[in-house]
Structure 1
Amino acid sequence: MTFFKYIKDSFRTILCFLLIILTINLILISSTDIDKSILDILYMNILLFSIFIGFLVMGFIKWKHTYRDLKNALDNGNSIEGYIPNGEKLEQLLIRKIIDFKNKEKFEEVKDLKRDLEEINDYITKWVHEIKIPLSVCELMADRIEEEGLYDTSKELRQEVERINFLINQVLYTSRASSYSRDFIVEEVNLGASVRSVIKNNINSFLSKKIEVEVGDLDFNIFTDSKWTYYILEQIINNACKYVDIHGKIEIFAKETDESIILCIRDNGIGIPAKDIDRIFDRGFTGDNGRRTKKSTGMGLYICKKVADKLNINIQVTSEVSKYTEFRIIFYKISDYLNVTEM
């Protein structure tokens, strides 16, 4: 917003003034004795130009003051609330009307989008509950197959049913993540009970690969949302199962500091390459390991991180290729839960 820009915008007004002065000068010169009037005409021109320059400068200052903050807000991508010009000039009235119109337009778009998302979420929720019925039938079939002595077939069927259950729950939690604040309850949760529940519900994943699970001291109480914390634990433990070899080992233990309870989940699997470790929580990122196993969607850890941030849970990862991967889930003590935010 320079003075030259203002001059350019006011070009017609300036040109009109100059033409008026030129006309007045021509009339005076042609109708008076030029020898006697030249000084008066020159004085008049100096006076008129001084007044014009003064009004031009004052107009520029007012113009810049009116639109400077609005322009800076737009350039920096900040909110323009409070910077909208409130004058009665036509251009200022038009600016306000345009902003009001676009706000109403966006509000209707958001309203329609929100309604569509809610319909999709409702459909997913209903679908998940409906699909649980045939899965229960599959579990009964596995029992019947086992009774007939086909233990290997029953074991494979149970493993696939467990995998389907895990994927269905992942879809359900992903759909709920957008409306997380409506499904959020902080309560006192026993960390050991949550971890054991995850292990029990995924036992076939451990048995199928003969994974050794070493559970340390987990007798700590934390303040968190039990359902969403279960989701985080299941995602990380399931990933550990996915990326360890047969007869691999997973260690789960916790330790306490003055500010937090730290849950460590460590496996001796394939590890995460250094170039990927800073991106594993990015949406849709699968990395070298995901492309190698072709079992990764890149969504599980993304949702984990998204939920953890809102629960004021910190997740840290260290890894070395072909040696280990360790997730540290940091649950801050009750005073820090005042910082929990909503989605």
Structure 2
Amino acid sequence: MEKIVDDSLPHNSYYFEAQLIKDVVRFKNDEADKKVNDIKSAFEEMNDYIIKWVHEIKIPISVCELITGKIDDTDVAEQLIVEYTRINFFINQVLYTSRASSYSEDLQINEISIENMIKKVVKRNATLFISRNINLELGNIHYDVLSDEKWLSYILDQLINNACKYVTRGGKINIYAKEDFKSINLYVKDNGIGVQEKDINRIFDRGFTGENGRALSKSTGMGLYLSKKMAHKLNHDIYVKSEEGNGTEFAICFYKLSDYSKVTKM
């Protein structure tokens, strides 16, 4: 910034005015740099606190989960487990949101089994499937892709949790994959309430929930936004198709020829 401004000023040292202006510009640049560094330091401090808080809060939550196993009333225990699962989901969302600002330091690209990843995510969300009597159908998911395990897990968590949230009790979710000449595509499809046509192009916008989302739950509108943002950083893509009343289908596209070496350089 200082260089650009200085280049436009006279370089003759005999011009007192020019030297004075240069000194003022240099002073203001130093002042601006200090403010930026102070803000950056405060942000990093808050980010560090959030990450530590998330890890600390998980301990009492895990204790609460163990206590539910001692409750004699089965219905009450199941309700508590459902709420525990929701709390844990939102806590993880906070953790990954805080990590998103420094994703380049956090990425590890490896070959990942889609089948193993899906099984882990489904297991984490098992309470949602059971409590709402959701039927899960797994198609062919025997593929390996290049991705970051933690972030891909987060994205799948969001898509599956989103599907569970918007299907009616006794509904159905299909998860399957297909391969073509340039990509492997993983689909998460539900037969839920769907998305209104006027909302479909905004579904990945930051903070957007849509009318159907507001009607069913209090959503932050950050899950899908962050999922698409991180998918792009990983050289994946996410698409959505939906029709109100006829369900929603999300697709994660893993490109075979992506240059993953540039992911950590962004």
TM > 0.5: yes
Mean alpha-carbon deviation: is it higher for 294-303 or for 102-111?
Answer: 102-111
Q: Distance in 2 between matches of 1:218 and 1:95?
A: 66
Cα distance 1:80–1:258, how it changes in 2: closer, same or farther (>3 A)?
Answer: farther
Residue equivalent to 1:131: 57
Paired residue for 1:144, among 58, 61, 70?
70
Residue equivalent to 1:267: 190
| Aligned residue identity for 2:43 | L
Paired residue for 1:154, among 71, 77, 94?
77
TM-fit CA distance, 1:229: 0.6
More helix by share: 1
Deviations 1:52-97 (A, max 9, x none): xxxxxxxxxxxxxxxxxxxxxxxxxx99849932532656556654
CA RMSD in angstroms, aligned pairs only: 2.2
Residue equivalent to 1:208: 131
Residue equivalent to 1:292: 215
TM-fit CA distance, 1:126: 1.6
Higher radius of gyration, 1 or 2: 1
1:105 and 2:28 equivalent? no
Residue equivalent to 1:226: 149
Cα distance 1:330–1:97, how it changes in 2: closer, same or farther (>3 A)?
Answer: farther
1:340 and 2:260 equivalent? no
Deviations 1:207-238 (A, max 9, x none): 11111111111111111110011001101110
Q: Is this contact kept in 2: 1:312–1:337, CA < 8 A?
A: yes
Paired residue for 2:159, among 207, 221, 236?
236
Aligned length: 263
Q: Is this contact kept in 1: 2:173–2:189, CA < 8 A?
A: yes
Residue equivalent to 1:280: 203
Q: Distance in 2 between matches of 1:184 and 1:143?
A: 37
Q: Distance in 1 between matches of 2:162 and 2:254?
A: 20
Q: Is this contact kept in 2: 1:254–1:262, CA < 8 A?
A: yes
Higher RCO (C-alpha 8 Å, min separation 6):
2
* SS in structure 2 of the partner of residue 181 of structure 1: helix
Q: Distance in 2 between matches of 1:191 and 1:82?
A: 52
| Aligned residue identity for 1:243 | Y
Q: Is this contact kept in 1: 2:195–2:212, CA < 8 A?
A: yes
Cα distance 1:96–1:220, how it changes in 2: closer, same or farther (>3 A)?
Answer: farther
Q: Is this contact kept in 2: 1:223–1:334, CA < 8 A?
A: no
Q: Percent identity?
A: 52
Cα distance 1:257–1:96, how it changes in 2: closer, same or farther (>3 A)?
Answer: farther
When normalised by structure 1's length, the TM-score is 0.71
Unaligned runs of 5+ in 2: none
Cα distance 1:292–1:99, how it changes in 2: closer, same or farther (>3 A)?
Answer: farther
Q: Is this contact kept in 1: 2:6–2:22, CA < 8 A?
A: no
| Aligned residue identity for 1:223 | L
TM-fit CA distance, 1:250: 0.7
